[in-house]
């Protein structure tokens, strides 16, 4: 069965500092991997996705993630945090053998950005 | 283009009552998904419609939950009777294409259900 683990329910960084949100997955087949963000009172918005093309994926708002098969990781990074990045971030995996392509989510990481 | 909408945004009911949640997907999206997040835990899949047909309902917790999608447009999720453990945020998502490389699910803002 597929699963996703996000290390750290809360991450706090200073404005301008590097953002690193960790995601490890478990999958018996090559997965599709996603990062979603949820701002207060809004739905989940897709930040970026890995679909077996380039291992370094660039997303919106300056975020990127690198797929590392040997480490079963898909960590999300941003070189310089902005106050507007404060939100909850979710890593998710989708099984290509699953005809519904349902998403399996991690438990989420809330990013706090200090002035 | 309007996004996925959900109604109501919040619902507070007492144990044993019935609640119906509604989701309007993006126009033209054949695929509709329901997910749920119980407080402090991960978002979990409930079920998937393709048009009006249930493709996968493996995540439905029990027979107190009934989902419908009449005519392949909007969907409703009814909980009857509601229990305390049903409290959480219910998300709806829709997608146009299930082809792997282009698959993207668009999420609504969710309905926060509180069962007292």
Which member of A46, A51, A90 has the closest CB to residue B43? A90
Q: In chain A, which ranges are continuous DSSP H helix?
A: none
Q: How confident is the model at residue B71 (pLDDT cuts 50, 70, 90)?
A: confident
Q: Which residues of B touch A (CB under 8 A)?
A: 3-4, 33, 35, 40-45, 48, 55-56, 59, 91, 93, 95, 98, 100-101, 103-110
Residues of A with CB below 8 A from B112's CB? none
Which member of B40, B43, B101 has the closest CB to residue A105? B43
The average pLDDT across A93-111 equals: 87
pLDDT exceeds cutoff 80 at A105: yes
Strands (DSSP E) found in chain A = 3-7, 10-14, 19-26, 32-38, 44-50, 56-58, 64-68, 73-78, 87-94, 103-105, 109-114
CA distance A95 to B30: 20
CA nearest to A50 within chain B: B101
Q: What percent of chain A has pLDDT over 70?
A: 99
pLDDT in tens, B1-36: 689 999 999 999 999 999 999 999 999 999 999 999
Contact assignment for A100 to B103 by CB distance below 8 Å = no
pLDDT exceeds cutoff 80 at A97: no
Residues of B with CB below 8 A from A10's CB? none
CA nearest to A101 within chain B: B98
Tell me the average pLDDT of chain B.
92
CA distance A92 to A102: 10
Distance set, CA B104 to CA A32, A45, B24, B75, B107 (Å): 11, 10, 17, 19, 10
pLDDT exceeds cutoff 80 at A3: yes
The average pLDDT across B77-97 equals: 94
Q: What is the pLDDT of residue A23?
A: 96
Which member of A46, A99, A106 has the closest CB to residue B42? A106
Contact B65, B83 (CB under 8 A): no
Q: How confident is the model at residue A51 (pLDDT cuts 50, 70, 90)?
A: confident
CA distance B97 to B29: 8
Tell me the average pLDDT of chain A.
92
Contacts of A78 (CB under 8 A, 6+ apart): A18, A19, A61, A62, A63, A64, A85
Contact assignment for A102 to B48 by CB distance below 8 Å = yes
Contact assignment for B103 to A96 by CB distance below 8 Å = no
CA distance B91 to B45: 9
Contact assignment for B100 to A51 by CB distance below 8 Å = yes
Phi, psi (deg, nearest 5) at residue B95: -145, 150
| Termini Cα distance of chain A | 41
Please give, rounded to a whole number of angstroms, the shortest distance from the CA of B79 to a CA of chain A: 22
Contacts of A83 (CB under 8 A, 6+ apart): A15, A113, A115
């Amino acid at each position: 069965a597929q699963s996703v683990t996000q290390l750290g329910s809360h991450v706090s960084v200073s404005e301008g500092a590097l953002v690193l949100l960790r995601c490890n997955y478990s999958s018996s087949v090559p997965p599709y991997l996603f990062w979603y963000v949820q701002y207060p009172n809004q739905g989940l918005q897709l930040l970026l996705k890995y679909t077996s093309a380039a291992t370094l994926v660039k997303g919106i708002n300056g975020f990127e993630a690198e797929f590392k098969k040997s480490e079963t990781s898909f960590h999300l990074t941003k070189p310089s945090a902005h106050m507007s990045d404060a939100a909850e971030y979710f890593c998710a995996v989708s099984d290509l053998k699953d005809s519904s392509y349902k998403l399996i989510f991690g438990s989420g990481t809330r990013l706090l950005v200090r002035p | 283009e309007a996004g996925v909408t959900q109604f109501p945004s919040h619902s507070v009911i007492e144990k044993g009552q019935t609640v119906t949640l509604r989701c309007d997907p993006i126009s033209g999206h054949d695929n509709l998904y329901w997910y749920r997040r119980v407080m402090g835990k991960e978002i979990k899949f409930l079920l998937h419609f393709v048009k009006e047909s249930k493709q996968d309902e493996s995540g439905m917790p029990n027979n107190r939950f009934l989902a419908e999608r009449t005519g392949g447009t909007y969907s409703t999720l009814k909980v009857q009777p509601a229990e305390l453990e049903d409290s959480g945020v219910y998300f709806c998502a829709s997608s146009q294409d299930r082809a792997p490389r282009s698959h993207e699910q668009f999420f609504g803002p969710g309905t926060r259900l509180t069962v007292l």
